[in-house]
Structure 1
């Protein structure tokens, strides 16, 4: 196998190719048993401002998917431990909120593509492919799967309104005073309703950088937005702890509250 990505240029900012500024980092898992390809893909995605984790064994990726949260998983079809197709099928069948799976392969036969898509893959990339196409497909897969926030100016969530231009949240029309990180954290929860998110995923999405989760920092901010926004069932939304994993924000109907 040759080098996966074609380097006609080397990006320093993902917005150059996407035409807009991403509101937060997407978290992407990349799996390939070819070290050169794995490093090439991972470095390109980091340059495009993604938070990336690398895997060279299918079983290791399966273990990570059980305990962590990703927006998109790029996985090679021919992986040791578990093939890419087996991982996609397992993830779609067993994960409560599976990420968008994109299969990477040198197999271009139409029957393979049909098999992958019918098996649950969000997309299928034949290697080699250009860097800009790969990134565009990651963004599209994340949007389809709910991992990229919507970009309307005003987002309505029942009693809550989020103004994405003013970076403000209102409850029943009243503005709520939030710090920048509190606003980002609240938006992350609203963008991922009813989806369990690992502590590492939340931390890297809001604070960026490595997933070295500062427990006290995260818990303190969750407590603050829960209190400031009065996130309780009677207002239609509540944040709850997912033991040993992270948090999720559930949506409630009038009957539930």
Structure 2
């Protein structure tokens, strides 16, 4: 998963980053609220870990801005020195999903992050997942369309499954390159970017993701892609 962490304490920020990376997540760090807000307007993340006290804005103010301006419901965890009941109430009322008091305990942080991601991106049946006529068999990494196997490369399978799991959500190009290709600092242009475009085009063609068939895989200029299920063939069978 792709996580953004915000804290003006360099040591705390490094601890959060190392903890999240140790449990398999890509962590992007920010020391100011304005910088995070700018990034959120052009990039996408799966989880936000926020401090409360910042030099330019408060944590609750950032959360309220996120809930008012971003369409996707990103899970948010406060990690802060604030510990009074009224602080917890204010943070959750602003739109945060969980609240953790410093000093950071690595095991607790990892557990809270796992719990938030599990709730937000639940996978109720890990062996396979189906959307209408599309059936993804995870163990064999096989896609079936109306019961017939479809030949996909590993990257095409991963990309198709990721798109279905994130239907309706804007996903940035960097997010896709980090998640599917494992490139932590992908360039804006060049070979990796062209490879992404090629894979998107192939997945769209092979799976028949066209508005006439009830699907739209759209490129959002300057931002990334959005996959949408338009017709009735969008039931998630688990």
Q: What TM-score results when the alignment is normalised by the length of structure 2?
A: 0.91
**Is the CA contact 2:7–2:30 (under 8 Å) kept in the aligned structure 1?**
yes
- Farther-moved stretch of structure 1 (226-235 vs 110-119): 226-235
Within the candidate set 177, 187, 209, 1:231 is matched to 209
Return closer, same or farther for 1:204/1:71 CA change in 2, 3 Å cut-off. same
Within the candidate set 133, 136, 142, 2:117 is matched to 142
Q: Could you give the per-residue CA deviations for residues 38-93 of structure 1, whole angstroms, max 9, x where no partner exists? A: 11211222222210111000100011111100000101000122211111111011
CA distance in structure 1 between the partners assigned to 2:179 and 2:119 by the alignment: 18
Q: Secondary structure at the match of 1:200?
A: helix
Q: CA deviation at 1:99?
A: 1.6
CA distance in structure 1 between the partners assigned to 2:95 and 2:21 by the alignment: 26
**Is the CA contact 2:169–2:226 (under 8 Å) kept in the aligned structure 1?**
yes
Partner of 2:40: 65
Return closer, same or farther for 1:235/1:149 CA change in 2, 3 Å cut-off. farther
Q: CA deviation at 1:237?
A: 2.5
Q: CA deviation at 1:254?
A: 4.4
Partner of 1:197: 171
Q: CA deviation at 1:149?
A: 4.6
Partner of 1:251: 229
Aligned pairs for 1:36-55 (under 5 A) are 36-55=11-30
CA distance in structure 2 between the partners assigned to 1:170 and 1:235 by the alignment: 17
5+ residue gaps in structure 1?
A: 1-25
Return closer, same or farther for 1:87/1:96 CA change in 2, 3 Å cut-off. same
Aligned pairs for 1:129-208 (under 5 A) are 129-146=104-121, 149-208=123-182
Partner of 1:209: 183
5+ residue gaps in structure 2?
A: 234-238
**Is the CA contact 1:32–1:38 (under 8 Å) kept in the aligned structure 2?**
yes
Task: Kindly tell me the number of residue pairs found equivalent between the two proteins.
Answer: 230
Q: CA deviation at 1:229?
A: 1.1
- Farther-moved stretch of structure 1 (230-239 vs 42-51): 230-239
Q: Secondary structure at the match of 1:104?
A: strand
Q: CA deviation at 1:143?
A: 2.9
**Is the CA contact 1:30–1:54 (under 8 Å) kept in the aligned structure 2?**
yes
Q: Secondary structure at the match of 1:142?
A: helix
Within the candidate set 111, 120, 126, 2:95 is matched to 120
**Is the CA contact 2:19–2:110 (under 8 Å) kept in the aligned structure 1?**
no
The reply to whether residue 32 of structure 1 matches residue 12 of structure 2 is no
Q: CA deviation at 1:124?
A: 0.7
CA distance in structure 1 between the partners assigned to 2:132 and 2:214 by the alignment: 7
C-alpha RMSD of matched pairs (Å): 1.8
